[in-house]
Amino acid sequence: MQEIVYHTQFVQEDKYWWFVARNQIVKKLINFYAPELKGKTVLDVGCGTGGFSKIISEEYDVICLDTSEIALEYCKKRNLKNLFLGTLDEFEPGNSKISATLFMDVIEHIDNDKAVVTRANQILEKEGYLIATVPAYQWLWSKHDIIHMHKRRYTKNNFNSLLIESGFKVIFSSYFNSFLFFPAVLKRFYDKIMKNDTASNNPESEVVEPVSPFINKLFLNIFSFEKHILTKTSIPFGLSIFTIAKRK
């Protein structure tokens, strides 16, 4: 990712509605669909500035992995200790039993997604978990994807097929960020029509869409409410996909 993404993410990750709600949802779904992971070792692949790793570090033994020294420096500022600089191919578990690999909006950045998912399968202990979020629908491609250096977006079916072909059994999968889906789609098409889908003079605004405190709280409440639904059923559409799978 571009350097500005890490700087902005560290500042915004604890307060911006999208980060906060996504992290709340994923944490709850992990606890619900894989309660046996509590206290075990999880590898946060592409951990970024460590926001999610910090949130779960009280309940799990977290290893933070990233290819960016900048990202890991921010992880240190969050007092995260178990850090690995490098790719997943370069990581060796050693004596650690990796019970889960986390990919929080990471796989879409990787050229060979099949290779990285297969590697995750190899380093996991028997019946270990892969837990991932990815952006949905290639037709929603926008400047946001370019700034974040995405390679692709997914449908639920093609993402789950990728996991199955790589030796996983899907336990639960759903679209999410669904309540804000239609407003977001309308805005993206409006930006394209009005030629707003180009770089601005404010690099930070390219990473996160600036909103007022009122809108930030409103969107946070709307988005985070989905955590109550996703423990009961999947949602058929949304801006992102959550999947939890188990090594066969």
Q: Where are the domains of the chain?
A: 3-247
Percent of the chain with pLDDT over 70: 94
pLDDT, tens digit, for every residue of 211-223?
A: 999 999 999 999 9
| Mean of pLDDT over the chain | 92
pLDDT, tens digit, for every residue of 116-139?
A: 999 999 999 999 999 999 999 999
* Pair of tokens at residue 71: 């990202």
CATH topology of domain 3-247: Rossmann fold (3.40.50)
Q: In what order do the strands lie in the sheet with 98-104?
A: 83-85, 61-66, 41-45, 98-104, 124-135, 240-247, 168-176
* Pair of tokens at residue 126: 């028997």
In this prediction, residue 201 carries a pLDDT of 47
